[in-house]
Amino acid sequence: MTEDLIIRKSGRVGHISLNRPKVIHSLNLDMCLAMTEALLEWRDDDSVEAVILDHSEGRGFCAGGDIAMLRESGMTDGKEGREFFYHEYQLNHLLFEYPKPIVAFMDGITMGGGVGISQPAKYRVATEHTRFAMPETGIGLFPDVGGGWFLSRLEGRLGQFLALTGARLDGAECKEVGIATHYLQSDVLEEAKQRITEKPDRIEGILGQLSGNVPEARIAKNLDKIDKFFASDRFEDILAALEADDSEWAAKERDTLGTKSPQTCKVALRQLNEGAAMECFADEMRNEYRIGYHVLVMHDFLEGVRALIVDKDNDPKWNPATPEEVSAEWIDNIFAPLPADEEWKPL
C-alpha cells in the first residue's frame, strides 16, 4: 500500500483517490501497483459493484506520470523507466477490460497518465475545471497509455491534432467530442459520489440527473479546419498544408508544431494509424511498450524534459532537427519488436 493513494470501500463501491497533490497526483510505480492490486481484489468481490476513481485535493485529477524518474532512468540503462511503463500499461489494460463499471472524475488537469486511467472507464465525468491534453510531443515522449487507441477513435482527425499539438480541451469540449461521457458542475460531485455508493446500479441515471447545461464547446467550430489541415499521416504534408494557408489559425498551429519534436510527431502519426486498426487493446499496449522502451533512452526525450521541466528554458534542441531528417528507418527502429522475454504482456 502507498500513502499516495486513498483506497477504501464505500457501500457497494470500491473507491480509489489519487493523493499526491504537490505534483498534481502524477502516477509513480507504487501507485500503479497498488491500484492494480485493489482492482484485482474488487474484481472478484461480489460486494463491490462499481469503482470510483478520483483525486483527493488540489487542482488536478492527474497530470501524468513520474517524468523526473523517467528521465533519470533514461540517462542510465532505462531499466526503472521501462518497469514503470510495463506496470502502468498493465493497469491501463486492466481498467479497459474491467467487468464492473468504473466512474472516473476528471475534475481538473487530466493529462498523460491521467488520460490513461480515465479513458478506459465506462463513465468519464468532466467539469468546468477539466483541462485535458496529451502534451508529450513537447517533451519528446509520445501519446502513450492507450493514446494510439483512444485518440485514433475520435471523429475525423481530432485525435491526430491533439496528439501533435498537445492542445488542451476544457470540460465542455471533452463532452462535445466524446472524451467525457458526462459534464457536471464541480459543486455536485460529492453528491454524485455519495449517490453512486448507495446505488451503484443507477450510475447512468444519477449522472444524467445531476448533469447541468454544458457550455459552448469552442473546439466545435474548428473541427472542419482540423480535418482539412491534419488530413495526412505524413507530418511534412500537415506542415505544408498549414504553411500554404494564410489564416491566423493555420499560422498559430504551424508555429505550435514548430516547437515539437519532429521524431515524436512522426511516431504519433504512425502510432495512431496503427492503433486505429488494432482489434484489441492489448495489441495497442504491446505496440506502445515497444515505442516507450526505445524512446525512453533517446535524445529527444532526455532533451525535451531538460528544456521544459528541468532547466525550463523552453528551448529544446531536437535531434533529428527537422521532419525531413527523421527517416522511415529511424521510425521503424522505434517500433521494432523486442526480444520475446522483454515484450509487454497483460496481467
Q: Is 58 a catalytic residue?
A: no
Residues 6+ apart with CB under 8 A from 280: none
**Residue 157 to residue 226: CA distance in whole angstroms:** 6
Over range 281-287, report the average pLDDT: 98
* Residue among 281, 290, 164 at smallest CA distance from 229: 164
The answer, yes or no, to whether residue 115 has pLDDT greater than 80, is yes
Tell whether pTM > 0.85. Answer: yes
The backbone torsions φ and ψ at residue 141, rounded to the nearest 5 degrees and listed phi first, read: -95, -135
Taking only the tens place, the pLDDT of each residue in 160-204 is 999 999 999 999 999 999 999 999 999 999 999 999 999 999 999
Over range 317-339, report the average pLDDT: 98
Q: Is 212 a catalytic residue?
A: no
Q: Is 288 a catalytic residue?
A: no
* Average pLDDT of every residue of the chain: 97
Taking only the tens place, the pLDDT of each residue in 37-47 is 999 999 999 99
Residues 6+ apart with CB under 8 A from 115: 132, 134, 145, 146, 147, 150
**Residue 313 to residue 153: CA distance in whole angstroms:** 35
Nearest 10 degrees: Cα torsion 231, 174, 178, 287: 60
> Per the residue annotation, which of 64, 65, 74, 114 is the catalytic one?
65
* Predicted local distance difference test score (pLDDT) of residue 1: 65
**Residue 284 to residue 250: CA distance in whole angstroms:** 31
> Per the residue annotation, which of 4, 54, 107, 144 is the catalytic one?
144
Taking only the tens place, the pLDDT of each residue in 199-252 is 999 999 999 999 989 999 999 999 999 999 999 999 999 999 999 999 999 999
Taking only the tens place, the pLDDT of each residue in 56-90 is 988 899 999 999 999 999 999 999 999 999 999 99
Cα Rg, the chain, nearest whole Å: 20
Distances (CA, A) of 208 to 10, 69, 184, 289: 21, 40, 9, 37
* Predicted local distance difference test score (pLDDT) of residue 46: 97
Confidence of residue 2 (pLDDT cuts 50, 70, 90): confident
The answer, yes or no, to whether residue 253 has pLDDT greater than 80, is yes
> Per the residue annotation, which of 113, 114, 146, 147 is the catalytic one?
113
Q: Is 144 a catalytic residue?
A: yes
Q: Which CATH architecture has domain 5-342?
A: Alpha-Beta Complex (3.90)
> Per the residue annotation, which of 49, 54, 88, 136 is the catalytic one?
136
Q: Give the start-to-end residue ranges of the domains of the chain.
A: 5-342
